Amino acid sequence: MARPKSDDRRSAILSAAIRRIAADGPGASTAAIAKEAGVSNGSLFTYFETKADLLNRLYVELKVEMATAALDGLPSGDDLRERAFHLWSRWLRWATSSPDKRRTLAHLDVSGEITPESRHTASQAMASVGELLERIRENGPMRDAPLGLVVALTSALADATIDLMIRDPDNADEHCTAAFDAFWRMLA
């Protein structure tokens, strides 16, 4: 009879995977992940059928966590700038407070192991963000640009800002606000 799966053990494996992938990239071995989690390599495969399964589940969980952090407490109403700033600042705060998660997500984003299904599931978690971006840009200078380009530009600006906020934490709020102002001028 198989032992029941433990949520604590699964969480330990995911946490170890975040640390190992942040340090070593998606090529981090399952043996290293298992060792860091304090479980046997065989136990890891009790929770995740394959390494690709582990990477895909981790990708989706991190995207959902990031979206949840960004959307938590999002003001309702018609003030798009206020709503966008809330989303922007919460997104950047999540990334600066979770550098290993951010780095892991960046590695997984470009990994060939992430399936279209996982990318679709992750994009569903971000659907509210996309809808807000569409509303912001509908009358702005980027209204006719492909959404993919808008998302890429927004992500690049956010990544540069996050890096600066991490390097200069004493001025993180000012960097966040200045970058948001640039984002707003680009889109609205």
73-111 pLDDT tens trace: 989 888 999 999 999 999 999 999 999 999 999 999 999
Give the Cα-Cα-Cα angle 133, 177, 128 (nearest 5 degrees).
25
Compute the distance between CA of residue 37 and CA of residue 16 in angstroms, rounded to an integer.
5
Domains and CATH numbers, the chain: 1-48 (1.10.10.60), 51-187 (1.10.357.10)
Q: Do 137 and 143 touch, CB atoms closer than 8 A?
A: yes
**What is the model's pTM?**
0.89
Q: Do 41 and 25 touch, CB atoms closer than 8 A?
A: no
CA 41 to chain centre: 27
CA-wise closest residue to 59 among 21, 23, 91: 21
Q: Model confidence at 4, in pLDDT bands (50, 70, 90)?
A: low
